[in-house]
Amino acid sequence: MGRPFCFGGTDTMALRHFLRLSDLQADEARRLVDRAIALKTSLKAEQRPLLGRCLAMIFAKSSTRTRVSFEVGMAKLGGHALMLATAQTQLGREEPLSDTAKVLSRMCDAIMIRNDSQADQEELALHSRVPVINGLSELHHPCQLLADVQTWFEHRGDPRGKVAAWIGDGNNVCNSWIEAAKLFGFTLRAATPHQYRPIAEVLKFAGKSVELLDDPQQAAAGADLIVTDTWTSMGQEAERAERMQILAPFQVDRKLMSKAAKNAIFMHCLPAHRGEEVTAEVIDGPQSVVFDEAENRLWAQMALLEFLLVP
């Protein structure tokens, strides 16, 4: 499977780690220093459109991809990202979001927030003078969809007119897939238990672009893409046992993948739980593009930051 637009990684190089300086040979260490000096003097300002700009990243929930992709993306664009774990800020001691928005707006150029309240994100945005980016709420995960749609384009061309099948929990990522269906002109068949349907607001937004189904097999039939996510999102840990039971018939396995189009791809925003929402055979198999999705968080969000911050 080609990955023409993904620049990260060095598939043809032997795997190397940098866990200590002595992991490098002496000549390699010298070359690295030379290269650092060359970059410092030759990198042009216009190639670093966010030079001197700062992104505040508020995290009330765990993250690997979102944190790393924003932080690395800001660095690549010439800017800087600040990690603000809620509990270690005054937000954790009940300073109002409105005051926090005003303070961060005076010092930072954008704010990214991950928490469990879309309403609070909206409140933050209302009082912010700088762009606020949703890095995941209980209702949406829009950055994930920029990366996922990019990945679909890269592997199979324009998704317009195609069919994606969401299998499992009608959660935050599902809601954003539904909005993507409308925006990019594909159909999203969502097969979820009736207890875990996507929210009415996105169904209304998407109109005929979304179809709600009970049966995963029916959703997967002939689909160009199969996508799922964890059965227990962050904050739902107390419901885990019940969710495992209700969602068990929605596992993406080889049999379900065989119902899809022959060249269908499999997506998952990660982190994944092999043996629960997806079998190892599928997520680690040839139809899976999950690590391209993960990498594309970086490129998609760099484009987003430029879009939001560079006139």
Tell me which residues touch ligand NVA (CB under 6 A).
136, 171-173, 229-230, 233-234, 269
Does position 270 interact with ligand CP (CB under 6 A)? The reply is yes
Which positions are annotated as active-site residues? Answer: 114, 141, 144, 229, 269, 297
Instruction: Give whichever of 65 and 155 is closer to ligand NVA, judged by the CB atom.
Output: 65
Does position 136 interact with ligand CP (CB under 6 A)? The reply is yes
CB of 135 to ligand CP, least distance (A): 7
Does position 139 interact with ligand CP (CB under 6 A)? The reply is no
228 binds, among ligand CP, ligand NVA, none (CB under 5 to 8 A by kind): none
302 binds, among ligand CP, ligand NVA, none (CB under 5 to 8 A by kind): none
260 binds, among ligand CP, ligand NVA, none (CB under 5 to 8 A by kind): none
229 binds, among ligand NVA, ligand CP, none (CB under 5 to 8 A by kind): ligand NVA
- Can you give the three-state secondary structure of the chain, one letter per residue? CCCCCCCCCCCCCCCCCCCCHHHCCHHHHHHHHHHHHHHHHHCCHHHCCCCCCEEEEEECCCCCHHHHHHHHHHHHCCCEEEEEEHHHCHHHHCCCHHHHHHHHHHHCCEEEEECCCHHHHHHHHHCCCCCEEECCCCCCCHHHHHHHHHHHHHHHCCCCCCEEEEECCCCHHHHHHHHHHHHHCCEEEEECCHHHCCCHHHHHHHHHHEEEECCHHHHHCCCCEEEECCCCCCCCHHHHHHHHHHHHHHCECHHHHHHCCCCCEEEECCCCCECCCECHHHHCCCCECHHHHHHHHHHHHHHHHHHHHCC
Instruction: Give whichever of 70 and 187 is closer to ligand CP, judged by the CB atom.
Output: 70
Interface segment toward ligand CP; rule CB under 6 A; list 28-36, 39-47, 59-67, 160-168: 59-67
CB of 239 to ligand NVA, least distance (A): 12
Q: Which residues bind ligand CP (CB under 6 A)?
A: 63-66, 136, 144, 269-270
